[in-house]
């Protein structure tokens, strides 16, 4: 049975026969704030540790802590200890979901962890991950970052199992497809290949099994996934993470990325992982991972993202110069680009905005009246820095235009005489279907308004975006290796018209692939 008590751990039924020791916490539903941020919002972070003799739950806790920026709605962990799997998941931040008492109960050799921001499936605990199921070969635990575009089709194909579904997520569908393949007689590797072969969309997966840890990535590699090693090779201790910052926090040595279309089997005991390509497609890493999502200390293409973000700031200054007294960045993601803009332009960089770094998903939201009088929960301007100054403010993106407008007004209230906004990415004109929550197209300000109209709406003295070419040429990778669909509508994975139509509100009927020229 389920029990709506946050602090009490209860034994819960799971689809088919749960492994002995399966348990979880079921707290009350947490409402999502209505006043959403003016940013793309990520789907998830995944993390896994295979390390006999190590406190795998504690290591996974810290890994999820490092990946907290990828999802703040829920967190969960499944730990394998012989034939037992202990699962604990809850709504909230990692530090709210887990305490030392919980972690001490979760002993074992393999842990699968997950941070969630919902895209497919609403925000409630039944949709939190990992997903744990029992198969003929023992339990599996699966954590997923990404989004399937054929979830409805896969759900229909698994309809005979519908009575066993406990969530509304595409991640659970992947787990059931894997369970079905195993129960059909395949071994783990073959079953994973068959299951993910039924999936279209973005998926970076970590999968725990009695035979070790598996990591797999979709053919385009839209969402990142890397792996590293704890200790020496002969110790056979492996870590997989959405980003390299998850390895760094626990002292794991980075080895490689899980390549697009690759399946890797990690085993304990000093054995090298078994690597195989299950699918070959053109690489299409989400470029927003580079611009905004991933932490600046995470490594992509043999360098930190901080270095890339400084370069796009330099490119922005080269393309879109302006006369001003100071350059400021919108914390935190706009800071590196602001430094690059300052370095190239010669305009001094200053801290004009202070961020409350302890703001996450909160249980107490400002009332509408409080919003109207300008409550500033996340950012506060510094009048003694801004007063009397012509200000260039650098941000990484504008999605809806809501908080950007409030920010401009706050800068003027603090005494800025001119506000020039520069964006270190092109205009976001199209929604994402691969794991980023960017709303429908009619909510995207650059899809509805031209540059002059956006400028007037925000109340800035000038507005300019980085070109797509400048964004791509600043990366240490071929331009063709990135998905840029949110900027140009060129989606790398085919979708049914019904799926396209669910978000492409402004596209002509039947012509969803015909893309209007973006604002420059």
Which residues participate in catalysis according to the annotation? 44
Measured distance CA(229)–CA(242) in Å, rounded: 15
- The pair of three-digit structure tokens given for residue 294, joined into one six-digit string: 């991933």
**In contact, 166 and 18? CB cutoff 8 Å:** no
**In contact, 184 and 198? CB cutoff 8 Å:** no
**In contact, 309 and 476? CB cutoff 8 Å:** no
- The pair of three-digit structure tokens given for residue 188, joined into one six-digit string: 């783990």
The residues near 477 (Cβ < 8 Å, ≥ 6 apart) are 285, 300, 301
Q: Which regions of 433-504 does DSSP assign to beta strands (E)?
A: 436-437, 462-465, 482-483
State the DSSP H helix or E strand holding residue 263, giving kind and residue range, or none if neither. Answer: strand 262-266
Q: Give the Cβ contact number of residue 106 at 10 Å.
A: 24
3-state SS assignment for residue 393:
strand
Peptide bond before residue 109 is cis, with ω within 30 degrees of 0: no
Q: Which regions of 314-456 does DSSP assign to beta strands (E)?
A: 326-329, 353-355, 379-381, 390-395, 418-423, 436-437
Sign of CA dihedral 112, 116, 118, 119: negative
SS (H, E, C) 30-81: CCCCCCCCCCCEECEEEEEEECCCCCHHHHHHHHHHHCHHHCCCEEEEEEEE
The residues near 408 (Cβ < 8 Å, ≥ 6 apart) are 393, 419, 421, 458, 459, 460
Tell me the pairing of strands 253-257 and 131-135: unpaired
Measured distance CA(107)–CA(85) in Å, rounded: 10
**In contact, 74 and 92? CB cutoff 8 Å:** yes
């Amino acid at each position: 049975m389920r029990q709506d008590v946050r602090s009490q751990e209860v034994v819960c039924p799971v689809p088919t026969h749960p492994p002995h020791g399966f348990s979880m916490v079921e707290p009350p539903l947490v409402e999502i704030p209505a006043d959403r941020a003016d940013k793309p919002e990520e789907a998830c972070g995944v993390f896994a540790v295979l390390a006999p003799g190590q406190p795998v739950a504690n290591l996974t806790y810290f890994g999820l802590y490092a990946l907290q920026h990828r999802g703040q709605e829920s967190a969960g962990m499944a730990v394998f200890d012989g034939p037992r799997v202990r699962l604990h998941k809850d709504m909230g931040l990692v530090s709210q979901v887990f305490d030392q008492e919980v972690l001490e109960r979760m002993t074992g050799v393999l842990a699968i962890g997950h941070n969630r921001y919902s895209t497919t499936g609403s925000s409630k605990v039944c949709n939190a991950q990992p997903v744990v199921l029992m198969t003929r070969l023992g339990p599996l635990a699966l954590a997923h970052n990404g989004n399937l575009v054929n979830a409805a089709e896969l759900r229909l194909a698994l309809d005979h199992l519908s009575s066993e579904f406990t969530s509304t997520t595409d991640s659970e569908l992947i787990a059931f497809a894997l369970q079905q393949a195993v129960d059909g007689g395949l071994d783990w590797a073959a079953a994973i290949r068959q299951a993910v072969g039924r999936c279209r969309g973005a998926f970076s997966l970590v999968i725990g099994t009695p035979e070790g840890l598996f990591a797999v990535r979709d053919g385009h590699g839209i969402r990142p996934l890397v792996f590293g090693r704890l200790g020496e090779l002969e110790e056979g201790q492996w870590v997989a993470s959405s980003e390299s910052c998850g390895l760094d926090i626990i002292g794991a040595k980075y080895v490689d990325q899980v390549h697009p279309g690759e399946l890797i089997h990690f085993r304990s005991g000093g054995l090298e992982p078994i690597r195989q390509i299950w699918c070959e497609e053109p690489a299409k890493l989400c470029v927003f991972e580079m611009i905004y999502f991933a932490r600046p200390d995470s490594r992509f293409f043999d360098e930190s993202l901080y270095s890339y973000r400084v370069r796009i700031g330099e490119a922005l200054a080269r393309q879109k110069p302006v006369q001003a007294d100071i350059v400021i960045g919108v914390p935190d993601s706009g800071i590196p680009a602001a430094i690059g803009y300052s370095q190239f332009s010669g305009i001094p960089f200053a801290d004009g905005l202070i961020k409350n770094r302890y703001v996450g998903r909160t249980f107490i939201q400002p009332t509408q009246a409080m919003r109207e009088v300008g409550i500033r929960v996340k950012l506060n301007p510094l009048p003694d820095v801004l007063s009397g100054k012509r200000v260039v403010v650098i941000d990484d993106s504008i999605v809806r235009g809501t908080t950007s407008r409030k920010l401009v007004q706050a800068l003027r209230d603090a005494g800025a005489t001119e506000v020039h906004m520069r964006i270190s990415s092109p205009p976001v004109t199209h929604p994402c279907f691969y794991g980023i929550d960017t709303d429908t197209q009619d909510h995207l300000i650059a899809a509805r308004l031209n540059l002059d109209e956006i400028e007037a709406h925000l109340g800035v003295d000038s507005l300019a975006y980085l070109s797509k070419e400048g964004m791509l040429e600043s990366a240490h990778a071929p331009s063709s290796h990135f998905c840029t669909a949110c900027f140009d509508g060129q989606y790398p994975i085919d979708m049914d018209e019904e799926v396209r139509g669910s978000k492409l509100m402004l596209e002509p009927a039947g012509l969803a692939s015909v893309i209007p020229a973006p604002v420059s």
